[in-house]
Amino acid sequence: MASQREWFEKDYYKVLGVKDTADAKEITKAYRKLARESHPDTHPGDSAAEERFKEVSTAYDVLGDEAKRKEYDEVRRLGPAMGGFGGGGGPGGPGGFNFNVGTDGMSDMLGKMFGRSRRGGASSGAGPGRGTDIEATLTLDFVDAAQGMTTTLHLTADATCSTCGGSGAKPGTQPKVCSQCGGRGVVDDNQGLFSFSSPCRVCAGRGVVIEQPCPTCRGGGVERRPRDVQARIPAGVADGQRIRLKGRGAPGRNGGPAGDLIVECHVTPHPLFGRDGNNLTVRVPVTFAEAALGGDIDVPTLEGPTVMLRLRPGTQSGSRHRVKGKGITTPKHIGDLIVTVDVHVPSHLTAEQRAAVEALAAATTVSPRMPTPGSKGRD
Ligand SMILES: [Zn+2]
Ligand SMILES: [Zn+2]
């Protein structure tokens, strides 16, 4: 495990036997060769080879990652001149400099670097770590999406271990405070001129030592299991929208905060209504007479009761009409209902209707018969 100190102490270029100007290809090539030579599989029981393999892997972990290598180079470049950040003197001994983690400029920089490599929890066990985000999908019907709902999501994901309650210790036993670091998770190390705080090697920075690990989670405090999460879906959620539920993801490590639960919403279509942002849309058929003469028509709403829409005489088929406040209501916005009027042409006429339409036809003149502008022959 790489500690912060190693960034100052170790010359990873030397470990891999490359110049510090080597390009990525050369570095990878050197690493592969050395890793093969020292691989524990080919040297069973040889602890020197194992150490060598670890060293080579650690070096490549940094130099093989373009971003990490840049930071490493920067640290090495700044290293000897960094003393000023420690404020001089201090517990580092006479004339020494104290690089306490998390208290000054240098350590902020280191903290950032290690925060980045800590993702997933594999590369550094030191200190608390935020849990990972969990993604889930939720299919909800149109009305629930429009009005908002509370639902239970059934997930199978990392959760606090139910056997040990997350402590990692076998039930009936307790994690012991680490005797090496006294529970701080870091140890101070005087090295002549410099004093460093580095993660405690005994407890891997956790501050506690688990002597009898929990059989379910093997000491990790986390198990993969089904669990139910109550989720509040806000009104007006759209198809494909992702909702972040803070702190409902995987539990953090070593007392760190939990990750988030990200719910991707799939909204099933409605037989009558559509959505346009927070506006609802609906198409309503009207008779030719209603369109031509004007009149009041009943329009369905998502909540149930119909509302009255007054059509002016001469309303055109396909025209859109707004019913205020009958759309989707969110805390920030009240949407409208947009009604598109379709003039319905009957496919069958009674004798009486036929006579009426014929009378209308006789009374109607379209002269000269001109195409409607903009229609370009479609429809
Ligand atoms: Zn457990
Ligand atoms: Zn410790």
| Neighbour tally for 12: CB within 10 Å | 26
For ligand 2, the distance from its centroid to the CA atom of residue 209, given in whole angstroms, is 7
What distance in angstroms lies between residue 193's CA and the mean position of ligand 2's atoms? 24
Measured between alpha carbons, how far apart are the two ends of the chain, in Å?
71
Residues measured by CB to lie within 5 Å of ligand 2, the ion: 178, 180-181, 200, 202-203
Q: Kindly give the confidence (pLDDT) of every residue in the chain, 379 residues in length, as a single tens digit, with 9 standing for 90 and above.
A: 444 455 666 788 888 899 888 888 888 888 888 888 888 777 777 888 888 888 888 888 888 888 778 777 776 665 543 333 333 333 333 333 333 333 333 333 333 333 333 333 333 445 677 888 988 899 999 999 999 988 888 888 878 888 888 888 999 998 889 998 888 888 887 766 777 778 888 888 888 888 899 999 888 888 888 878 888 888 999 999 999 988 888 888 767 888 999 999 999 999 999 999 899 999 999 999 999 999 999 999 998 899 999 999 999 999 999 999 999 988 888 999 999 999 999 999 999 999 999 999 998 876 656 666 665 655 5
Q: How far is the CA of 78 from the centre of ligand 2 (A)?
A: 29
Please give the angle made by the CA atoms of 131, 133 and 134, to the nearest 5 degrees: 120
What's the confidence (pLDDT) of residue 232? 85
- Please tell me the distance between residue 17's alpha carbon and the centre of ligand 2 in angstroms: 34
Can you name the residues that pair with 224 across neighbouring β-strands? 158
Q: What's the pLDDT at 72?
A: 74
CA of 199 to the centre of ligand 2 (A): 8
CA of 176 to the centre of ligand 2 (A): 10
* Ligand that comes closest to the CA of residue 204: 2
Compute the distance from residue 214 Cα to the ligand 2 centre, in Å.
19
CB 210 within 8 A of CB 120: no
> How far does residue 169's CA lie from ligand 1's centre (Å)?
6
Residue 224 Cα to ligand 1 middle (Å): 11
Q: How far apart are CA 106 and CA 116, in angstroms?
A: 16
Whose structure tokens read 């629930």?
144
How confident is the model at residue 369, as a pLDDT? 62
How much is the pTM?
0.50
Q: In angstroms, rounded to a whole number, what is the distance separating the alpha carbons of residues 104 and 242?
A: 38
Distance of CA 212 to the CA centre of its chain: 35
Question: Closest ligand to 184 CA?
Answer: 2
336 CA to centre of ligand 1 in angstroms: 52
Pairing status of strand 97-99 against strand 194-199: parallel
Ligand 2 center–CA 126 separation, angstroms: 10
* C-alpha of residue 132 to centroid of ligand 2, in Å: 24
In angstroms, what is the span from residue 201 Cα to ligand 1's centroid?
22
In terms of C-beta density within 10 A (0-12 exposed, 13-18 middle, 19 or more buried), how is residue 183 classed?
Answer: middle
Beta-carbon contacts of residue 209 (< 8 Å; ≥ 6 apart): 175, 176, 177, 178, 179, 202, 203
Residue 375, token pair as written in the block? 């229609």
Kindly state the tokens that stand for 176: 């012991």
Distance 4 CA to ligand 1 centre (A): 30
Please, are residues 230 and 150 in contact by the beta-carbon 8 Å criterion? yes
Ligand in closest contact with the CA of 222? 1
SS3 letters across 22-79: CCHHHHHHHHHHHHHHHCCCCCCCCHHHHHHHHHHHHHHHHHCCHHHHHHHHHHHHHH
Tokens describing residue 216: 């379910």
Beta bridge partners of 221: none
C-alpha of residue 86 to centroid of ligand 1, in Å: 40
Predicted local distance difference test score (pLDDT) of residue 77: 63
Please give the pLDDT value at position 71: 73
Task: Look at residue 302 in the predicted model and tell me its pLDDT.
Answer: 92
